[in-house]
Amino acid sequence: MNYLKIISVGIVLSSAGLFAQDSSGVRMVGQAFPQWAETFDMEISDDVLFVANGRLDIIDVSNPENPDYIWYSNRLGYCNQVEVIGDRAYVTTGYLGEIQFYVLDISDLANPQILGKLEEDHVSPLQLKVSGNIAYIISHHSVRIYDFSEPEDIMNIAVIDSTVDFMEVDIERNYLFGYDPGDGLRIIDVSDPASPRQVNFFPYHIHITDFSYANQKIFLFVSTYRNYGVTILDVQDVMNIDSLNHIPIYNREGGVISVQDSILLTSSYGSICSYNVSDMENPIRTGRSNIGASCIAVNDLLMFVRSGQQ
């Protein structure tokens, strides 16, 4: 069975920002929904969790010990990616060479409305990022860029031909960072989304299983035998990328990561760990829990994970 587990990761607010408490800070505070099948993506917005679960689920998590459904629906199709910004949700559905990209009005969480929809063949959505009125969708061997300024008339405005498995978008600096497996990190200028151009490339021939971006740094979850752990790259100057550190994690299975300000959260091989990375040269592990996760979402205090463990 697969569960939604809600975990306190010991992150608290202070005048200095976000930091982690001691090792007791990683503990489970809630569990629900053992009927869940495979979960592909999760997004947290305020006290509401959005889950691409094959269907789209919207869940009230204001009480972590008793999360409750607000709405769910299969009518959008086979949901696999979700992004939430303000009172809109962006969803991709489909598989086997077809895609539907939806723009939803979620101002009434109990009754989402479809504002726009795009359907395309020969596209399999693997990851979605949204910036302004632009959506970036990884498909096989390409990143496709869509303009939804007018949701009723969504347009494909560009295609980046590259085998990118993971991506993040820096909204303020207008860069897309894409990791090409077995090749390296591509830095693409998307200040004009209709004319994206690669401005730099950082060779890194190592297999990774997840990728996160925060504070102008990239965190790569490396899953090769001699390098298992998280490698941190400094991309403040995109023309002069540097490797800052590597945090060993002593497991031998691929994992997922999330970064919240100066807190790095890793999940692999039946454990979740938190690290304080405010000092990149001296990261400190601050918590651990014997729970594994294949999909995670994080807010200031809680970590929401999809886990097959009871």
C-alpha 211/C-alpha 221 separation (Å) is: 6
C-alpha 191/C-alpha 125 separation (Å) is: 23
13 confidence band (pLDDT: 50, 70, 90): very low
Dihedral sign for Cα atoms in the order 242, 260, 2, 100:
negative
Please determine, for residue 145, whether its predicted confidence score (pLDDT) is greater than 90.
yes
Tokens read off for 294: 């294949």
Average pLDDT, the chain: 84
> Phi/psi at 100 (nearest 5 deg)?
-125, 130
Q: What SS3 class is residue 150?
A: coil
C-alpha 263/C-alpha 83 separation (Å) is: 22
Please determine, for residue 16, whether its predicted confidence score (pLDDT) is greater than 60.
no
User: Which DSSP helix (H) or strand (E) runs through 81?
Assistant: strand 79-85
C-alpha 147/C-alpha 151 separation (Å) is: 8
Dihedral sign for Cα atoms in the order 9, 171, 238, 139:
positive
C-alpha 127/C-alpha 276 separation (Å) is: 27
Give the pLDDT of residue 153. 96
Is-contact 223 229, C-beta < 8 A?
no
Name the least confident of 46-60, 179-193, 271-285, 287-301.
287-301
Please determine, for residue 25, whether its predicted confidence score (pLDDT) is greater than 60.
no
| Angle ∠(74,75,80) on CA atoms, nearest 5 | 55
C-alpha 68/C-alpha 60 separation (Å) is: 5
Q: Which residues of 183-210 are buried (b: 16+ CB within 10 A; e: fewer)?
A: eebbbbbbeebeebeeebebebeeebbb
C-alpha 227/C-alpha 204 separation (Å) is: 12
Q: Which of 249, 200, 196 is nearest to 223 (CA)?
A: 249
Q: Residue 250 burial (CB < 10 Å; 0-12/13-18/19+)?
A: exposed
| Angle ∠(132,43,181) on CA atoms, nearest 5 | 80
Q: Which of 277, 292, 224 is nearest to 247 (CA)?
A: 277
Mean pLDDT of 162-167: 88
Pairwise pLDDT comparison (185 vs 250), residue with the higher score: 185
Give the pLDDT of residue 250. 67
Name the least confident of 53-62, 152-161, 162-171, 258-267.
258-267
Mean pLDDT of 67-76: 89
- At 83-121, the pLDDT tens digits run 999 999 999 998 767 889 999 999 999 999 999 999 988
C-alpha 41/C-alpha 57 separation (Å) is: 11
Is-contact 178 164, C-beta < 8 A?
yes
Is-contact 249 228, C-beta < 8 A?
yes
Residues counted in the chain: 310
Can you list the domains of the chain with their CATH numbers? Answer: 2-307 (2.130.10.10)
C-alpha 103/C-alpha 83 separation (Å) is: 10
Q: What SS3 class is residue 165?
A: coil
